Each structure stands twice: as C-alpha cells, then as structure tokens.
Structure 1
Amino acid sequence: MKRIIFLVIRLLYRIPGWLLTIHRYNKHKEDVSFETRFDFTQRLIRKVNEKSRVNIHCFGKENLPEEQGYLMAPNHQGLFDALILFGTHDQPFKFIVKKELMHVFVLKNVLHMVDALAIDRENIRASVKVIRQASKDMAAGTSYVIFPEGTRCRQQNKMLEFKGGTFKSVMNAKKPIVPVALIDCYKVFDNNSIEKVDAQIHYLTPIYYDEYKDMSSTEVASMVQSRIEKCINENENEF
C-alpha cells in the first residue's frame, strides 16, 4: 500500500491527463487503433515502473517468436505482474482476465481500452466463447497473456496448480506457448515498503505445436508449470 501511495504522489501531475486519455479512447474506440491504445498504455506503465523504485531484470527476450500470435503463460504473484510484462514485451498483446477485474475502479477502464477478454469461470458457455475468440485472434497474429493459475498465489515464489483449460485457446490455434517465469514480483506491492526491490522476468524457450500436439491440455499445463518452476528454483536468489 505504501508504494501505491508513493506512486500516486510522484505521478499526481500526470494522472488527470492519463485518465482523460483513457476516457477519450474508450469513448471513441472505433476511431483509435488497438496499436495506438496499446502504445499509450505501455508508455503509461513504463513511466509508472520508472517511478516505482523497482529494478527490473529481464531475461530471454531473444526467445520470443518473431511471428506474433502466441500465448504467454506466466505464474501469477500480484499486481506488478502486468506492469512488468508491459515494461519488457515490446510488441502489442492482449490479456485474458477473470471477469471480476472488469468491475475494479479505474482498472476496468484500462482493460476495456486494451481489449482484454474477460472469462467467467462459472459460465461454461461464455468461457467457450472467449476461448474461441482468443484462438481466432492468435491464429490471425495477436499474442495473448493468460495466468494459468487463475488467481495469484500468495506464497511468494511458489505457484498454484496450472489449469489445463487456460491452454485450450492456443492449442486450438496451434500456436506457440511461451512460459514466463516471474520472480520476486510479489515484493513490489506486498511488502508495504518503498524500499528499492528487484524483480525478475524470464521469457523461456517457446513450446511449439509439434511438441504439444499429442498432449492433453492438462499435460501441457503441467509441462509449462514445470519449466517455470525450474527457472524460479535456479534464479530466485540471484539478486
């Protein structure tokens, strides 16, 4: 909480302009390209990161497929996860988020602006519709981020079990899966401090369709999680 208050104070002079732009883009979405809206969001978040007293250590960007239209699957540690992704992934991407986030003050407007897809885990029919839309987008060249745990894990660098259903969209599209390991990102907002902290993001070697085509979604989830877990175990004490 202290870091959030600290950021609000440091960026107070920018916040009104940002909120006005978000409102304008949402009001006239049909006239503003997704790329323009994403670029604005990315610049905003990178400014937030710059002022947050967080040392971001990014590894493996060379692993990202040259062709867009892949799924990034990170472990989920907290609020900073999305910020570190925007801060390090240069190409536009979209999020699949749980529907509850579409009702959070201010955040809902940002998610709407960047065309996030909201999934209702209690509504199978609606979930299938979201999966189909994401598959269609990925096949057409739009990359996505989804957190396979479904919710954040509150045990530091530990993980909850990855859900197989979160990989159905990319499997249907036959596109690459990029495991993403987030390390110490929980420290940014969970430690109730404004002391400098280090946070890591590792883009791991992509898993291409030929590697997972004969696997079930549960098996894919287990494989992705094991690769992320291995990376965390090897790197969590580096900084």
Structure 2
Amino acid sequence: MIRLIFVILFVALYLIIGIPILFVEWLVSKKFRYAADISQLRMVQWAFKVILVLSGVHLTVIGEENVPKDTPVLYVGNHRSFFDIIITYARCPRLTGYVAKDSMLKVPLLSLWMKRLYCLFLNRSDVKEGLKTILTGIDQIKHGISMCIFPEGTRSKNKSETEMLPFKEGSLKMAEKSGCPVIPMALTGTADILENHFPRIKPTHVILEYGEPIYIKELSKEDKKHIGNYTREKILTMLEKQSTLPRS
C-alpha cells in the first residue's frame, strides 16, 4: 500500500503545481506553439518516469530502434493495465497523442493535460462521434503528431499474457488514411504492477517490445482488408516470444 500512497500523493502534487505551469505554457504557446508542446511533453514524461521509479518497475525495452524519429507514427499495443500508458508514453521521442475513452474527460486537471498533449477522447457508443475522433487523429498525424491506440478497446483481464481481445478494425484507419507507419507494441507484466493485486503496487519486471514498422500500402490486398488482425498477430508473436524470456 505504501507505494500506492506515494504514487497518489505525487500525482496529486504534480497536478496541483501544474495549474500555474499550464497557464504559463498556454501563454508561451500563443507565440511559440511547438516549444510549448515539447516542454509539456517532457514534463509529463518526467512525471511518468518518477511514477515508475516509485512503483518499483524494472523495464526491459526491445526493438526501440524500430521507432522512426523523423516521422509521425501510429503506435498500436496490447492493453492490460493503466501502466501501459505510463510506460509507453514516457518513451515517445516526439509529440504523441493517445486515444482514450471519453470518461477520462470527467477527471479534473488530468483531462486538461491530456487535451494539451493532443490526446483524443473516444465515445464508443456513438458511431458518428467515434468517426470524428478518428478523423481528428488522421489530421494530427498529417500535422506531424504521432498517435497511440489500444485496439482491444478496453483492458484485457485474461490470465494469460498472450490472450488478447479482438482488435477493432477501425482503430487502424488513422494509419491507413494518413499513410504513416504502424508501430506494434507488445507489453508483458504490466498487470502485475497493480491490477492483479489491487490496491497494492508490486515491484515488477516489465517487457516492452517495439516491432518493425508496418506500412499498410505495402501489404497484400487481403492483409489490408484485415489490418487489425494482421497487426494483432504481429503483437501476439512478440508476446509469445516474451513468455519464454526470464522475468525476475
């Protein structure tokens, strides 16, 4: 419990202190938008790294060289924990917005940071609103901002790390329509940090692997038609490989 308390206190303190900082960043963005964006990105990444230290997370990263540094991408990953976002966002080399469920809009201060960092809020019960969100993501990618989505739609609670929920095919439209590369991400061990024994945070060895970029236009007609499942299989292969690696 002590680790959870430290994390909660740190997040609360960060959000409170961040109120005047956000105001200053907003003023700076009026004249120097990119500088303000990068500054906010690095501040949040620093905070996430502190959370990982407080939580006792030991992270092994594989294949980070597969992430292009000079072009926006669509990150696509399996989803088992709230920590998936903290771990992956802390390593983004450039501006990146995450697609989150619209209920996050109700979280004060946190939702404000998310909006400033180009996160989008998806209403899964409204097809029209969902389409608007995807179109906004396409536009952001075209303007140089990477996006990240977890196509299972919710956190998988299966006991096995290699069991994923089906991927929603529409989730990959942002890459299909913008032409950006898809970067598959496979995460192992994140549910062991908190979800598997809530409310206790447990020091955990987590593996994050980035697969080779997927360029949709280079795929066969059949793979393009089922790009969600194609990407899911790439992630599943990485998860199966990770299951044979030692974790202590």
Give me the TM-score of the superposition, normalised by structure 2: 0.85
1:123 to 126, 135, 139: 126
Gap regions ≥5 residues in structure 1: none
Greater shift, 207-216 or 133-142, is seen at: 207-216
2:204 aligns with 197
Which residue in 2 is equivalent to 1:7?
7
Q: Does 1:42 align with 2:49?
A: no
Alignment correspondent of 2:172: 167
Counterpart of 2:240 in structure 1 is 233
Task: State the 1:215 CA deviation.
Answer: 4.6
CA deviation vs aligned residue, 1:180-207 (integer Å, no higher than 9, x gap): 0011111111223344211111011110
Could you tell me how far apart the structure 2 residues matched to 1:58 and 1:82 are?
Answer: 15
Q: What's the Cα RMSD here?
A: 2.5
1:1-239 equivalences in 2 (<5 Å): 3-8=3-8, 11=10, 14-15=13-14, 18-21=17-20, 23-24=22-23, 28=27, 30-31=29-30, 33-156=36-159, 157=161, 158-190=163-195, 191-192=197-198, 193-212=200-219, 214-215=221-222, 219-236=226-243, 237-239=245-247
Task: Give the letter for the 1:100 counterpart.
Answer: S
Say whether the 8 Å CA contact 1:26–1:109 is kept in structure 2: no
Q: Structure 2 unaligned runs (5+)?
A: none
TM-score (norm 1): 0.88
Report if aligned partners of 1:22, 1:113 keep a CA contact under 8 Å in 2.
Answer: no
Query: For the residues of structure 2 that align with 1:12 and 1:224, how far apart are their CA atoms?
Result: 33
* 3-state DSSP of counterpart to 1:88: coil
1:89-138 alpha-carbon deviations (Å, 9 max, x no partner): 23221111121122134432332231211121222222222211211221
Measured in 2, the distance between the counterparts of 1:78 and 1:115 equals 21
- Counterpart residue identity of residue 60, structure 2: H
**Identity of aligned pairs, percent?**
21
- The worse-fitting range, judged by mean Cα deviation, of 17-26 and 122-131 is 17-26
Q: For 1:37 and 1:55, how far apart are their aligned partners in 2?
A: 25
Alpha carbons of structure 1 residues 110 and 217: separation in structure 2 relative to 1, 3 Å: farther
